[in-house]
Structure formats: structure tokens, C-alpha cells
Amino acid sequence: MQIISALQAPDRLRVSDVFPDELPRIPPVREVEFSIELIPGVEPISKAPYRMDLIELKELKGQLQELLKRGFIRPSVSPWGAPVLFVKK
């Protein structure tokens, strides 16, 4: 449960029917195989991951497991990737 201020309450009530209570899963596997054609000879950039302390790493693993379990993400075989970092709210 989240506590909101009296100033936020009218806005939340006004748009509460716009947002679903639960997010749907990622789209199902389709009949068409999708891929992005890369420029010939271009190699993925190799970069060291951002440093994370033990608490952040534990949180990241937990969040990824939850997203996998709920179907929001799936394993990838792409050699390309993006770094993960935490941002304070």
C-alpha cells in the first residue's frame, strides 16, 4: 500500500481507471521470426559492467527473477546488451 498526499488523491482517482491493476505478460511468440539486420563487420562493443555492491547485486538478481517469473522479460541470445544501473526515486 502506498500513502499519497491529499493533493495527489484527486488526480489518482481521476485516472485510476486508465491503468490496469496487473500488467499483462510479454507478447506471445509469433509465427514470424524477427531480427535486426546489422551492418556487416560491426562487432558488439565489449565493456565492463558497472560496479555494484553486494546489496545492489542481490536486489538486481531478485528483480530479474521476478520479471522472468511474471513473463515481462525473457532470456536473450543476442550478443548485444545494455548496462543496468539503479536510480533513486
As for how many domains the chain has, the answer is: 1
- What per-residue confidence (pLDDT) applies to 60? 93
Please, which residues have CB within 8 angstroms of residue 83's CB and are 6 or more apart in sequence?
Answer: 47, 49, 50
For residue 46, give the nearest of 8, 83, 88 by alpha carbon. 83
Q: Classify residue 27: in a domain, yes or no.
A: no
Residue 6 lies in a domain: no
In a domain, 10, yes or no: no
For residue 62, the enclosing domain spans 47-89
Domain for residue 8, yes or no? Answer: no
Residue whose grid cell is 560496479: 51
pTM above 0.85, yes or no: no
Where is mean pLDDT largest: 6-10, 18-22, 33-37?
33-37
How confident is the model over 26-58, as pLDDT tens digits? Answer: 666 777 777 778 889 988 887 888 888 999 999
